[in-house]
Chain A
C-alpha cells in the first residue's frame, strides 16, 4: 500500500468509527488532487465529504467552529504552501481556543492535513515545508509521517487527539513509498520518536520525506565504517527530547536535517536543546543540513535540497572534528 492509500485508509477508519467526522477541502469530494480522499464521498455521503470554495482562511475557521461544537473536522489544505491565508485562524483561533477560554471550549477535533515538501518540479509555491512556523505555536501539535504504516497510525492518532493537529504529508512519498499497512484500526502515539537504525558513532535526526535521504546518507557512512543512529521524530510538536538526548549522550555527535530553510528551522530548536542537555557529552558542534535561505527555486532544486551527499559530508565532518 502506498502513502496516499494509507491516508485514505486512515480517514476511512476515522469516519467509520466516528459519526461526527467530516472531511472537506478544495476538490476533496472528487478524491483530492493527490487522491487521498478517493471513494470517501461514495461511502459516507456528500454531507460528510464535501468540496469547499477556494478559501483557506474560511476552511480553517469553519473547521474550528465545527470542532468547537464537539465534531471531528478533517480539513485538507491542498498544498502546505497555501496554508498561509489560514495562518491566523490556526495560530490565533485554533491553537489558543482551550487556553483563552479557560478550558471551556476547544477545537481538539480539528486536524488539518496538508501535503508538503519538494517533489522535483514544484517551484516556489508547491514545494515548501512550513512545519517550523507551527511548532512555534503552543497549543498546536505538528506531525509528519515518513511512510504508509506511520501515516495511517499517526493520522488516526491525530484525528482522535484532543488537541488541534497540523498533519503534513510529504507529497513525494504519496506514490513512491510502499509498505504493508495493517488493515486494522491502530494508532501511533504522538510525541514519540523512533530509532530507525541503531548506531554508535553519530546520531542523525530527521522526519518525513527527508528520512529516505538520510537512510542513503547513513548507508554511505556505513560503507566508510561509520555507525549511524538514525532517529525519526514523527511528531515535531511536542517533540521527543528524550530519545535524541539519550542517543547523543551515547554518540556525542549530532546531525539534524530538514528541507525547510536553515535559519529559524526546526533543526535550530533541536540543536539548541541538545547543546543545553548534552553539553558535556558533545564531541563536535551540532550540524544542521537544511534547505538554503532562499525561496524554493524550480531550476535549482537539486542544489537547494539537503541531499544524501551533503548529509554524508556533515557526518564525516563531525567524525573528523
Chain B
C-alpha cells in the first residue's frame, strides 16, 4: 500500500520511543537491572514503593541522556525537573511514575533519515526525558488473577518523542532504525526489542491533503519489532481512512497492536480519560548540569553513524547505500574497517564491502550470531580477499572457500590447500579441457558455428565443470572464444 497517496489522505505519525538505559543499577535505587532474573528478586524497597523510602538519582542515567541530547543536536537543559505522573496500576508500585514533564533534560533536536529515493529528510525530536519503567503483569498460570513482577520497575528509560514529521510507515521505520542505531552507537541502550529494552508507541492520524489541522490521533502501544511497527501503522492508517470515508469520526484513544491478528484494538484499561495530576516530585531536587559536565560528556561521544557513513563514502569511495548498511552498527563498521586495514587499505574497500555485506553478514544471520561470535575474523576475510586479488582462486570458488573457513574456523590458504582449490591458470591445461568439451558436444558445436551465439554460455559452463570450477574465468573465456570462432 502506498500510504501517503491513498485516496488523497495524508498520514501523520509521531513516535514515542522508550529506550531502556544500559545502566547497571536502577534510576533511583541500587537494584540490579539485569534481564530475566527470578520474579521480584531485583526489586528493593525503593522499587517496591515501600513507605518511607526515597529516590536518589543515578548519575549514569543522566550522563546517558546527555549523550543522546548531544548526539541529536538537542538542547541539554542546564536545569531539569522530575515530576510525578499519578495513576493507579498494579505494575506501578507508588501509584505514580517519576518522569519529567515541564522541564525535560533534552529538548529540540533532530535526526536525518534517508528515504527510498535517496533523498534526506530531517525529523524533529521534540524532547527526550528520563523516567522510570514500570513492572510487569503476568497472566499465565493464575485463575482470574494476575501476578506482578516488579524487577523492571525503576529501570531507567529515556523517552524520545518525535515531532509529527513522519508521513508514512516507511518513514517511521527509517526513523526508528536511525534512533535504534544511534542509541547502540552511544552505548546507552542495548536495543533489544525482544526483551523490551527498545519499545515504541506510535501516534497515528490521517488528514486530507492540504488540510491545515491534524486529524484526531490514536496511540498504538505494545509494538515490539520493526516489522510490527510498520504493520501496525499500516493497519491503523487503513482503519482510520475506512472510518472517515464511511462518514465516521476517529476517537482519540490508546490502541493495542495484536501481532497474531495483525490488527489494532482499543485498550479497555485506558478507556477512561486520564488525569495524571503531574506535579514536581518533592523528593527530588532540580537536576542542575554544569556546562563543564556537559562538555566532559561531549568528549566521550563516539563518531556518530552519519559522520562515519560520510567518511566511508569519502575515504572508501562507497555508495551511500553501502555506507549506510556498513555503519548500521558500530560493531559492523568496526569489523569492516578492520578488514579494509588488513587487506591493505582503501584499494580493497569495495571488495571488502561486498564481502562484509554479502557472505559474511549472510552467515551471521543464518547462524544467528553477533559479530563478536563470527567464525571468520577480519584478518581471515582479508586473507581470502588477497587470494582473489592475486588470482589464486576465482570469486566463485571464493564463496566455497568462505563457507569452509566459516565451518572450520580456518584460514583461506589452509582451505585452498586442503581442498586443491587453487585456480588453474596454465593455458595448456585449460585448452585441454576445452578441447575435450568441444569433442564431446559436436551437435552444439555445429549449432554454435551456424550462428547460435547464446550457446557460448553452455560451453563456458561445461569447460568450467571440466576443471572443477578452478579455471581462471577470464582465461577460460578468452581461450574458448578463440577455439570456437577459429576452427
Co-assembled chains A and B: no
